[in-house]
Copies of this chain bind each other. A is one copy, B any other.
């Protein structure tokens, strides 16, 4: 039995550029194959409409497409149908502007940009509060996740909302999740049943 989602279409973008490195410099990170698999599976499990991998380097996008095509068109999909289904919602795309355009073409509306970060900061919205707001939103939502040491300030400032960081359950002194784990936890906090 399928139930209708009580929220607008939700999309996710994994940003490879512009992000920062360990020294705070603006860089472009490489696409990690496991990010394709793990985040597509989590996005599909939590009912997201689309997952955009944002990378301006064409050769990187081509390599990622080739990996996914093993499942989408090749023998992988016959062996594991669920992996094929997960990759069907993935789009490899050059920049955030193209993501916004694609969502507008699909939904007729500009997406609401929602930033995430592992760092504490001003003006963050709690997961609980944003979860409650979701059902009342009209516009599609685009959750932004950075790679490397996080998205640049310039990019973060484009977001309408900024989610609080995940705080683990330990003594609070260590908080270094992979982006794959952070995506899974945030989707569960916002959309988990």
User: Would you call A61 an interface residue if the criterion is a C-beta within 8 Å of the partner chain's C-beta atoms?
Assistant: no
Residues 29-62 of A, flagged 1 when their CB comes within 8 A of B and 0 if not, give 0000010011001101111100000000000000
Contact between chains at A188 and B191 (CB < 8 Å): no
- A2, A5, A83, A169: residue with the most chain B Cβ atoms closer than 10 Å: A169
Q: Which of B2, B83, B177 contacts A42 (CB 8 A)?
A: B177
Residue of B nearest to A80 (CB): B22
Contact between chains at B170 and A37 (CB < 8 Å): no
- A122 CB, nearest partner CB in chain B, Å: 20
Residue of B nearest to A4 (CB): B171
Q: Interface size for chain A: under 10, 10 to 19, 20 to 34, or 35 or more residues?
A: 35 or more
Contact between chains at A174 and B44 (CB < 8 Å): yes
Contact between chains at B38 and A174 (CB < 8 Å): no
Q: Which residues of A contact B (CB under 8 A)?
A: 1-5, 22, 34, 37-38, 41-42, 44-48, 79-80, 82-83, 85-86, 166-178, 180-185, 187-193
How many copies of the polypeptide does the oligomer hold?
Answer: 2
Q: Which of B22, B34, B82, B177 contacts A45 (CB 8 A)?
A: B177
Beyond A22-B80, A47-B168, A185-B185: 17 further Cβ-contacts under 8 Å? Answer: A1-B172, A2-B172, A5-B170, A34-B34, A38-B178, A41-B177, A44-B176, A45-B174, A48-B170, A168-B193, A169-B193, A172-B193, A177-B184, A180-B181, A181-B181, A185-B188, A185-B192
A171 to B1, CA, bound (A): 8
Residue of B nearest to A7 (CB): B169
- A186 CB, nearest partner CB in chain B, Å: 9
Contact between chains at B41 and A173 (CB < 8 Å): no
- A148 CB, nearest partner CB in chain B, Å: 12
Residue of B nearest to A1 (CB): B172
